[in-house]
Structure 1
Amino acid sequence: MHIEQQEEAVKKRPVGKRLWQYALHFKGSFILALLMLTLAVAADLSGPFIAKAIIDRHIIGIEQPYYVTQTASKDNVSFNDATYKRADRFEPGETKGSAIQILQVGKSFYLISGEAPTTTGVREYQDGTLKITAKGQVWEAAAQPLPLSQLLVFYEPEIRGILYWLGIYILLLAVSIVMSFGKILGLQTAANKVIRKLRGDVYAHVQRLPIPYFDNLPAGKVVSRITNDTEAVKDLFVAVLSNFTSGIITIAGIYVALFILDTKLALFCMVLVPLILVWIVLYRRIATKYNIVIRSRLSSINAIINESIQGMPVIRAFRREKETMDEFEKLNEDYLTYSNKMLSLNAYTSHNLVNVLRNVAFAFVLWYFGGASLSASGIVTLGVLYAFTDLLSRLFQPLTGMVNQLATLDQSIVSAGRVFELMDEQGEERHDGSMPRYKGHVEFDQVSFAYKEDFVLKNINFEAKPGQTVALVGHTGSGKSSIMNLLFRFYDPQQGEIRIDGNVIRDIPKQWLRQHMGIVLQDPYLFTGTIESNVSLGDPRISRKKVEASLNAVGADRVLKTLTKGLDEPVVEKGSTLSAGQRQLISFARALAFEPSILILDEATANIDTETEAIIQEALEVLKRGRTTFIIAHRLSTIRSADLILVLHRGEIVERGSHEELMAMEGRYFRMYQLQFGAQVENQAQSGQIGEPSFAPLEDAGLEGDEFEHNTDASNEEHTKKKRAAIAQAKPASAAYK
């Protein structure tokens, strides 16, 4: 996308509105921080009011009558096998039972039945009788002393209210003492919450993006938007919001004072407001162009760094260090160029321009109003002039702070636009919950699929019954992996239906569908952690005992026994410290631990040495037991015992059947078998030693697609017959072939 197009895209996205919506999630924190900035004086005056509320409502308040209640409430008090609530806490229409009341006489408290007509007057307690004398009248009632333990029962509901008011008092007291500290802390905390939510939403959205989105997007660019761009947005809420809010409040107060001093002088200074607004608009128009390029180049730099680190062995092996460095330097130089342009723009406009405006304003005031004062023309007095110039000087301090934040403001808006651009990508809907474990009856019905325009699968029809093993073979690009991508619903077909147990998978939520599927890739991916965490993937349903059992079942204990820490052996990124066989066995154990009903093995033995392959073959038998299994393989040794073998060519199934049936057909599969095993078997037959055939992949023979026909024509018929006879005598010895 060109710079002009990116700029237009940023303008079209309602960035400000969406940032405001995020801020509203934590409006309490922002409001509190802004109140700390603007209401410092009110904090000092709030102390007596808070003390009054604590004394009247919570300390002396227990002398109000208590009535028996049948309504549950956090304000209820349990006393003498009855539940009471204070009179002022009853809801309108709520039924009141019999009453009791607590009255204090000296340092002691007494309990009376009923309600005293008045609590003011002289109180006395003698011989079980409490007397209240007020205005010459005496009221008395039977009373009993209330021990401290029982008195505290009535204070329990008040503790919450007392702590609430004390918290407010301490908070407001801190505001009055360290207002600026509180302001920064409040805004920083709120900003961190916004960024945490924004970053969490972005990452969650990345998890929902369809697989095709990542086909053409470098991982480093996605990382840059999740980390760098969201961090830049934080400055908007911390520095920009703080400076602009305090600046606006200060400027408003100064203008009020200016109008009180002299209306004409204040009106003159009002000219500065539209000048600042025009200035901000023009600045952002230029700065946005620069910031779009800066953020884009930073994203590209992250992408090339990520790619270089992951591909470092290849770069070193092919001595491409200089070329990689040149590519990096080109992006780095471009980033520096536009960063310098941004610095120049800030240098020309921010602080220097404020000084120019301030000096012009001072010169005008001194020339117009100062000369008149000195000539005693009576426009303003010297005192007013001094006060006015002092206020005018103070006016430009917040203006300077606001203008200096324009660069941060624009950078934050551009970064937010890039983040929201990623979030606007169409994601997949997530569904919570799960579905029962299905049997694994898979049907492909007239399925055709294209990644872009050309169909890579055409009219695919086959059925895999529960517990069967289905193998997919064919040259590179024939459509084997595409079938598995459709089964996992990484993509959906343009034509036809895929059914599991009779249910069309397009109608099943993807998360539910994949819950009972497992996959083992040719190059298994291990995460940073331990061997145990890579098998369980942090799923609480998979215990340590189950992890160990799964590893033992696939034979991994024989390969991993050399590791000193066992299951707790650290695994670095991608498992680079482990061998290919160890990584593959861990991935087998992972698949087994999750107990899928459908298992996909995508060339799972392609990178395994001969010694480890024997263990892997045994592991495969364990994995396949009791579940529908799909095997994508170039090594025909791994699929000889498959219940159904599908031979694909240019996106179509050209042959299907068991190994024996396909060999009898003498078609494409037969020729593939010849290419892989024929030469060695023939040599072994001639020497009288029939052993394990070699496992050269199909592509190693240098033949793909229609080249099979060209190399197996009538001119080679005699040679083919000899090979066929030798193959018929071959009896592979490995357990996988039995």
Structure 2
Amino acid sequence: MKTKTGKALFKYALTAKRTFILALVMLAIGVAADLAGPFIARNMIDNHMLAIEKPFYETNTASSETVSYNGKLYKRGDRFAADETKGGEVHLLQAGRPFYFVEGAVPDTTGERSFEGGVLTISKGGETLQYPAVKLSAKELYAFYKPELPGIRTLVLAYFGFLLISIIMEFGKTYWLQSSANKVIQKLRIDVYKHIQKLPVNYFDNLPAGKVVSRVTNDTEAVKDLFIAVLSNFFSGIINMLGVYVALFLLDFRLGLICLFVIPIIAAWVVLYRKFATRYNTIIRSRLSEINAIINESIQGMPVIRVFRRQEQTSDEFEALNDDYMKHQNKMLNLNALTSHNLVNVIRNLAFAVVLWYFGGGYLSATGIVSLGVLYAFVDVLGRLFQPITGMVNQLAALDSSLVSAGRVFELMDQPGVDVTDGGMPRYKGNVEFDDVSFAYKKDYVLKHISFTAKQGETVALVGHTGSGKSSIINLLFRFYDPQKGSIRIDGQEVTSLPKQWIRQHMGIVLQDPYLFTGTIASNVSLGDGRISRETVEKALKDVGADRILAHLPGGLDEPVVEKGSTLSAGERQLISFARALAFDPAILILDEATANIDTETEALIQSALEVLKKGRTTFIIAHRLSTIRSADQILVLHKGEVVERGSHDELLALGGRYYQMYRLQGGITDAAENGSGQVQEGSSGSSNPEAQGSSAPAAGSAGAADESKRPTASPLPNLS
């Protein structure tokens, strides 16, 4: 069942929930501190700068809040104590730029104002009121503003205090959010890599390595962007918008209601955007995986590409993929260009236009429906509303790309795997029994009714032309696959009843093309297993004769080994592989044409070591050079997935069947006629491969190859841990 991407991401986010919550708390505090600015500005305008037009009253008590004018003391009316006596009322009213002193009460200060001939005229709704007034000098006006300065200074300090809090919270939010995201991605990458180790071998048969690498690296990196950049902007945006709307409603309920139209527009916008963006991003991530796959394949196969002059064709394939990738990237760019800042600006300008149209009629005279301070603060807060919207819109592309990448990662993790079982089992003897085993990779059986017994210490050779089923038997023995029919037992115990890791713990393999890991010669022998000491490594290398071959290396056992051991010769790599198998002391040993890539001198050197290696172990040899298996206890000749002949080397030659013909094609028989004693005359064995000459062998038609080609290639790999 496919994992729901959102739920899976939420589950991973919970792994760092404490730091995520801390980041969100700091974000909320930072937003609140940031939104305090417009409220401070409103207070400064309405309660200090414009409050000078509030009524002043004469007083006899001097203080920091009183103003001296024409030998009298005045104080603003809202600053009198409850038991304090108020004297005569005066007003300071602005007409144009100057302010005028009006002695006496002014019931209504709203309306158009003008001053002429010592008279201040206020006109409103056809009614005209006139008051004797005196123009104030700058010094006199400053005297009335002076009591406001302490309050303004306090508000300015409060503003900088909130600004400092906002800066600290922004730093903390960014740090903890990124720290949480890194922790989540670290766990996600580890889980993905561990899951890859659990996937069955057949999963990788049709999936290029580059695509797997892309999901572990590129796709998880995109998920990291989701937690760091996308969620940061969206969390910040949502909390900012909530804070802004709270501020708008606190400033004026009607203003807040008018600006609610922004929310459905953004919601519809996101839904419509994702409808197109998801389609493009799915193709983009897929093409990126394919590009990684073709690069990986080209690097691995560079010698073949150069030898067969396939550079131009390979470049054309890469260019076609890259062009398609760029085409869909350009589609995403067009989509982002059409729906990013342009739409934000349209919505913002529309909101400002509606607000100014509805509330701005009396704005310039400060006598509108709302006060100048409220309108200023509202415009400031409304501008802040579109900052998080812009941030969220700019992250829509990254959001969709991240969700697509996350879906690809979780699709990989949804693939059924085999849990790694802790512990192990005692070293078994190695008695192997195949009982009427039939197996198919897909539909057609590649092994049919295979039955044989290999006792401890015996050597069993598997021979046959390509496609006969030799590697399939080894794959079943390692439990890379399980048979559809029949059973396989080790020491009488059914292998399917045991964890795969336990079985492989006491198996070893030497491949025709051994794989070496980046590290040193010593680490490639021990594979980092703490149970294998350096002395064991040295002894294993010495027993297989590698100490003499590798003596020229300046680093000795600590000589660096690059990927695949490309700086070493084929013989040196094979010797290290032999030493690896010997160091792990397996009960069952598989030699997959282990001496095929070794020169004659090196082969002679390790033949005696092989006898030591095989001693006491059940050994399976996949043989192409039949001369290497003449001492095998049992030889199984496979054809089209069936055992057609079995016996020792001499018995099979005497039989005169398929094995006899294969051996003869390799030059192992110099005289086809039997001598008088009935024994076949053998000559020196050649080294030609029967598979290269299989077309000349009697009864070795192409059916076997065709049968084996129906399955995906799956070379068995060692699991010695």
Matches of 1:709 and 1:483, distance apart in 2: 21
Which of 384, 395, 402 lines up with 1:405 in the alignment?
Answer: 395
2:652 match: 662
Give 1:694's match in structure 2, choosing from 686, 689, 714.
686
**Given the superposition, is the C-alpha separation of residues 544 and 497 from structure 1 closer, same or farther in structure 2, using an over 3 Å criterion?**
same
Aligned residue in 1 for 2:714:
none
Conservation of the 8 A alpha-carbon contact between 1:208 and 1:427 = yes
Which amino acid in the other structure matches residue 577 of structure 2?
S
Distance 1:282 1:351 in 2: 16
1:425–1:647 distance in 2 versus 1, CA, 3 Å = same
**Could you tell me which of 267, 271, 277 is aligned with 1:281?**
271
Q: How many Å separate the matches in 2 of 1:255 and 1:475?
A: 78
Residue 703 of structure 1: SS of its match in structure 2? helix
What does residue 359 of structure 1 align with?
349
2:671 and 2:235 mapped to 1: Cα distance?
Answer: 84
- Change in Cα spacing, 1:559 to 1:501, as seen in structure 2 (3 Å) is same
The equivalent residue for 1:526 is: 516
Match of 1:21 among 11, 19, 29: 11
Give secondary structure in 2 for the equivalent of 1:600.
strand
Correspondence 1:259 to 2:249: yes
Q: Judge conservation of contact 2:210–2:295 (CA < 8 Å) in 1.
A: yes
- Compared with structure 1, are the counterparts of its residues 470 and 251 closer, same or farther at alpha carbon in structure 2 (3 Å cutoff)? same
1:450 aligns with: 440
Deviation at 1:376, TM superposition (A): 9.1
Q: 1:479 aligns with which of 464, 469, 481?
A: 469
Query: Could you tell me which of 195, 204, 214 is aligned with 2:185?
Result: 195
The answer (yes or no) to whether the contact 1:680–1:694 under 8 Å persists in 2 is: no
Residue 719 of structure 1 aligns with which residue? none
Give the match for residue 508 of structure 1.
498
- Decide whether aligned partners of structure 1 residues 679 and 706 sit closer, same or farther in structure 2, where only a CA change above 3 A counts: closer
Which residue number corresponds to residue 311 of structure 2?
A: 321
Residue 690 and residue 458 in structure 1: after superposition, are their counterparts in 2 closer, same or farther (change >3 A)?
Answer: closer
Instruction: State the distance in 2 between where 1:617 and 1:234 align.
Output: 53
CA contact (8 A) 2:663 2:669 kept: no
Match of 1:700, SS state, is coil
Quick one: distance in 1 between partners of 2:268 and 2:247? 25
Task: Give 1:402 deviation, angstroms.
Answer: 1.3
AA partner of residue 460 (structure 1): I
User: Which position in structure 2 is the counterpart of 1:115?
Assistant: none
Residue 699 of structure 1 aligns to a residue whose secondary structure is coil
Which sections of structure 2, spanning at least 5 residues, go unmatched? 34-162, 676-680, 703-721
Partner AA of 1:331 in structure 2: L
Rg larger in 1 or in 2?
2
**Higher deviation after alignment, 250-259 or 631-640:** 250-259
Q: Deviations over 1:519-538 (max 9, x none)?
A: 01110000011100000000
Q: 1:265 to 1:317 in 2, by over 3 A?
A: same
Over 3 Å counting, the alpha-carbon distance change for 1:35 and 1:573 in structure 2 is same
Deviation at 1:404, TM superposition (A): 1.0
1: CA distance, partners of 2:632 / 2:165: 75
How much does 1:622 deviate? 1.6
DSSP-derived class of the 1:271 partner: helix
Residue pairs, 1:667-682, within 5 angstroms: 667-678=657-668
| Superposition TM-score, scaled by structure 2 size | 0.76
- Whose relative contact order is higher, 1 or 2, with alpha carbons under 8 Å and at least 6 apart? 2
Task: Describe the shift of the 1:440–1:535 C-alpha distance in structure 2 as closer, same or farther (beyond 3 A).
Answer: same
The secondary structure found in structure 2 opposite 1:217 is: coil
1:644 aligns with 634
CA drift of 1:388 comes to: 1.7
| Pair 1:579–1:369, CA change in 2 (3 A) | same
- How many Å separate the matches in 2 of 1:414 and 1:198? 15
**d(CA) in 2 for partners of 1:401 and 1:194?**
23
Residues 564 and 690 of structure 1: is their aligned pair in 2 closer, same or farther, counting only changes over 3 Å? farther
Q: Following the alignment from structure 2 to structure 1, what is the Cα–Cα distance between the partners of residues 231 and 700?
A: 70
CA distance in 1, matches of 2:669, 2:515: 35
Superposition map of 1:78-89 within 5 A: none
How far has the Cα of 1:366 moved from its partner? 1.5
Deviations 1:311-335 (A, max 9, x none): 1010000110011111111111111
2:31/2:243 contact within 8 Å kept: no
Contact map agreement 1:505 1:513 (CA 8 A) in 2: yes
1:608-627 equivalences under 5 Å are: 608-627=598-617
Matched-pair contact (CA < 8 Å) for 2:665–2:697:
no
8 Å CA contact retained: 2:360, 2:368: no
1:238 corresponds to 2:228: yes
C-alpha distance in 2 between matches for 1:276 and 1:706: 76
**Structure 1: how far apart are the matches of 2:668 and 2:383?**
95
Task: Check conservation: 2:463, 2:636, Cα contact below 8 A.
Answer: yes
Report how far residue 285 of structure 1 moved.
Answer: 1.0
Tell whether 2:210 aligns with 1:220: yes
Q: Distance in 2 between matches of 1:701 and 1:21?
A: 59
- Are the counterparts in 2 of residues 284 and 410 from structure 1 also a CA contact under 8 Å? yes
Instruction: Decide whether the 8 Å contact of 1:663 with 1:669 is kept in 2.
Output: yes
After the TM superposition, which of the residue ranges 350-359 and 510-519 deviates more from structure 2?
Answer: 350-359
Equivalent residues of 2:553, 2:559 under 8 A apart? yes
SS in 2 for 1:596: coil
RMSD between superposed Cα atoms in Å: 2.4
| Whole-angstrom CA distance in 2 between matches of 1:222 and 1:499 | 34
* TM-score normalized with structure 1 length: 0.74
Within 2, Cα distance between the matches of 1:642 and 1:426? 40
Change (3 A) 1:565 1:231: same
Work out the CA distance in 2 between the residues paired with 1:292 and 1:582: 45
1:108-165 superposed Cα distances (whole Å, 9 cap, x missing partner)? xxxxxxxxxxxxxxxxxxxxxxxxxxxxxxxxxxxxxxxxxxxxxxxxxxxxxxxxxx
1:178 CA displacement: 2.9
In the alignment, what sits opposite 2:258? 268
Q: Distance in 2 between matches of 1:322 and 1:308?
A: 12
**Do the aligned partners of 1:518 and 1:600 also contact (CA within 8 Å) in 2?**
yes
Offset, 1:691: 6.7
Distance 2:353 2:588 in 1: 84
Match of 1:497 in 2: 487
1:462 aligns with 2:452: yes
Alignment of 1:705-720 (within 5 A): 706-707=698-699
Amino acid at match of 2:502: W
Name the amino acid aligned to 2:596: A
Secondary structure of 1:670's aligned partner: helix
SS at match of 1:283: helix
1: distance between equivalents of 2:306 and 2:19?
52
Q: 1:602 aligns with which of 592, 598, 610?
A: 592
Describe the superposition over 1:589-623 as per-residue Cα deviations: whole angstroms up to 9, x where unpaired.
00000000000001111122111111232222121
8 Å CA contact 1:675, 1:701 repeated in 2: yes
Aligned pair partner of 2:238 in 231, 241, 248: 248
- Determine the C-alpha separation between the residues in 1 that align with 2:635 and 2:235: 71
Contact 1:36 1:175 in 2 (8 A): no
> Aligned AA for 2:267?
L
- Per-residue deviation, 1:498: 0.3
Partner Cα distance (1:679, 1:470) in 2: 22
Moved more, 247-256 or 306-315: 247-256
Q: Determine if contact 1:205/1:423 at 8 Å carries over to the other structure.
A: yes
CA distance in 2 between counterparts of 1:29 and 1:412 reads 21
Question: Which is further off, 670-679 or 497-506?
Answer: 670-679
- Partner of 2:591, secondary structure, is strand
- Find the counterpart in structure 1 of residue 71 from structure 2: none
| Structure 1 residue 393 corresponds to structure 2 residue 374 | no
| C-alpha deviation, 1:174, in angstroms | 11
The one-letter code matched in structure 2 to 1:498 is: I
C-alpha distance in structure 1 between counterparts of 2:165 and 2:500, whole Å: 52
Q: Check whether the contact 2:361–2:368 (CA below 8 A) recurs between aligned residues.
A: no
> In structure 1, how many angstroms separate the alpha carbons of the residues matched to 2:262 and 2:185?
35
Structure 1 residues 42 and 709 mapped into 2: Cα distance closer, same or farther (>3 Å)? Answer: closer
